[in-house]
DNA sequence: CTTTTGACCTGACAGC
DNA sequence: TGCTGTCAGGTCAAAA
């Protein structure tokens, strides 16, 4: 479900409400997520004061004392911040209880999400070790993509969705950015010019920024921490719009499977 | 090294 | 009303 803009929406919703509060305890009802939820989650988080909520790619990091809680929402994860205790429903796997009667609750039907703890003090975690640059950061640009892509034969859509190449770009925003940049998603990554990579880097950045401004994209699962939907869906050019007309040229948007994932593009505007 | 495939899960929906 | 197959905002290890 959630790509970078959705996780950033969650982060922005959480930060002002939980920073400064202490963790009272953690309840794990289902430990079998993408990785097992640490059995000492409660012991290590209890009494710790939350000092920051940050993001790395699609990972959310909650700094609590010397510990750092790591959360990933996978395909179907939702994080809600409850103002009052409420009985857990199906797929409500983890609760983090905070001062002030707040509960941070992870709901994840497919259980591709993840709740973990980083190394004490350093905040390091194996899953964060080899992630590419932040697409909204300074080191991400066309030259970086151009250099890294030389000799690569894989489709450029897979290339930009590779978390080792750039963090946080998933199936929706890869399709959208490639449309904005005018590049066909099936094109070999190594056969795209420096200039077009500059366009793509810009397209990725602006697409993500606009999506964040809209509170993310709600297709089915995604909601913010207060339960609100994101409305970037209304601004999608191609994703999920197969057969509908391209906003730029009017031709029907096409759908094609690339690397097991649905991809959407305009055959006229994207080469 | 790069690329592809299969695995991990549940739920919604289409078609029979 | 079932049943079956397909699809879904992700990611990783293993195989090729």
A51 in contact with nucleic chain C (CB within 7 A) = no
| Residue A1: band (very low, low, confident or very high) from pLDDT cuts 50, 70, 90 | low
Residue corresponding to tokens 């207060």? A226
Q: How far is the CA of A250 from the C1' of C14 (A)?
A: 44
What pLDDT, on a 0 to 100 scale, did the predictor assign at position A223? 86
pLDDT in tens, A102-120: 999 999 999 999 999 999 9
Helix (H, G, I), strand (E, B) or coil at A258: strand
In this complex, the nucleotide whose C1' atom is nearest to the CA atom of residue A217 is: C9
Q: What is the mean pLDDT of residues A149-176?
A: 98
Q: What is the mean pLDDT of residues A197-206?
A: 98
Which H or E run includes A180?
helix A171-181
pLDDT of A217 above 80: yes
Residue corresponding to tokens 């929402």? A73
pLDDT in tens, A235-256: 999 999 999 999 999 999 999 9
In this complex, the nucleotide whose C1' atom is nearest to the CA atom of residue A259 is: B4
Query: What is each CA distance from A244 to A106, A208, A229, A258, in whole angstroms?
Result: 35, 23, 24, 20
Q: Which residue is nearest to nucleotide C9 (CA to C1')?
A: A1
What pLDDT, on a 0 to 100 scale, did the predictor assign at position A170? 98
Q: Return mean pLDDT, chain A.
A: 97
Query: What is each CA distance from A270 to A192, A237, A238, A267, in whole angstroms?
Result: 12, 12, 11, 6
Please say if A2 is a catalytic residue: yes
Distance CA A51, CA A6 (A): 22
A34 in contact with nucleic chain C (CB within 7 A) = yes
| CA angle, residues A139, A145, A150, in degrees to nearest 5 | 140
Distance CA A92, CA A236 (A): 30
Q: How far is the CA of A89 from the C1' of B14 (A)?
A: 28
Helix (H, G, I), strand (E, B) or coil at A68: strand
Helix (H, G, I), strand (E, B) or coil at A260: coil
pLDDT in tens, A124-156: 999 999 999 999 999 999 999 999 999 999 999
Pick the catalytic residue from A17, A44, A58, A78.
A58
Q: For chain A, how many residues are written?
A: 271
Please say if A34 is a catalytic residue: no
């Amino acid at each position: 479900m959630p790509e970078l803009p959705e996780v950033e929406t969650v982060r922005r919703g959480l930060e002002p409400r939980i920073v400064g509060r202490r963790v009272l305890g953690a309840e794990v009802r289902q430990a079998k997520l993408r990785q097992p939820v640490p059995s000492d989650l409660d012991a290590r988080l209890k009494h710790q004061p939350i000092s920051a909520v940050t993001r790395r790619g699609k990972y959310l990091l909650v700094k609590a004392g010397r510990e750092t809680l790591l959360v990933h929402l996978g395909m179907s994860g939702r994080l809600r911040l409850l103002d009052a205790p409420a009985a857990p429903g199906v797929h409500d796997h983890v609760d983090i209880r905070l001062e002030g009667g707040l509960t941070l609750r992870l709901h994840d039907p497919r259980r591709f999400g993840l709740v973990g703890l980083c190394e004490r003090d350093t905040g390091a975690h194996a899953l964060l070790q080899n992630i590419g640059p932040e697409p909204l950061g300074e080191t991400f640009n066309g030259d970086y993509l151009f250099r890294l892509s030389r000799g690569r034969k894989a489709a450029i859509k897979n290339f930009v969705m590779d978390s080792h190449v750039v963090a946080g770009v998933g199936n929706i925003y890869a399709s959208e950015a490639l449309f904005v940049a005018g590049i066909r998603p099936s094109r070999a990554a190594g056969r795209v010019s420096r200039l077009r990579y500059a366009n793509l880097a810009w397209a990725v950045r602006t697409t993500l920024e606009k999506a964040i401004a809209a509170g993310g994209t709600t297709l089915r699962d995604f909601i913010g921490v207060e339960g609100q939907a994101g409305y970037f869906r209304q601004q999608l050019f191609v994703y999920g719009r197969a057969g509908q007309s391209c906003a730029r040229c009017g031709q029907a948007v096409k759908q094609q499977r690339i690397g097991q994932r649905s991809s959407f593009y305009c055959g006229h505007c994207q080469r």
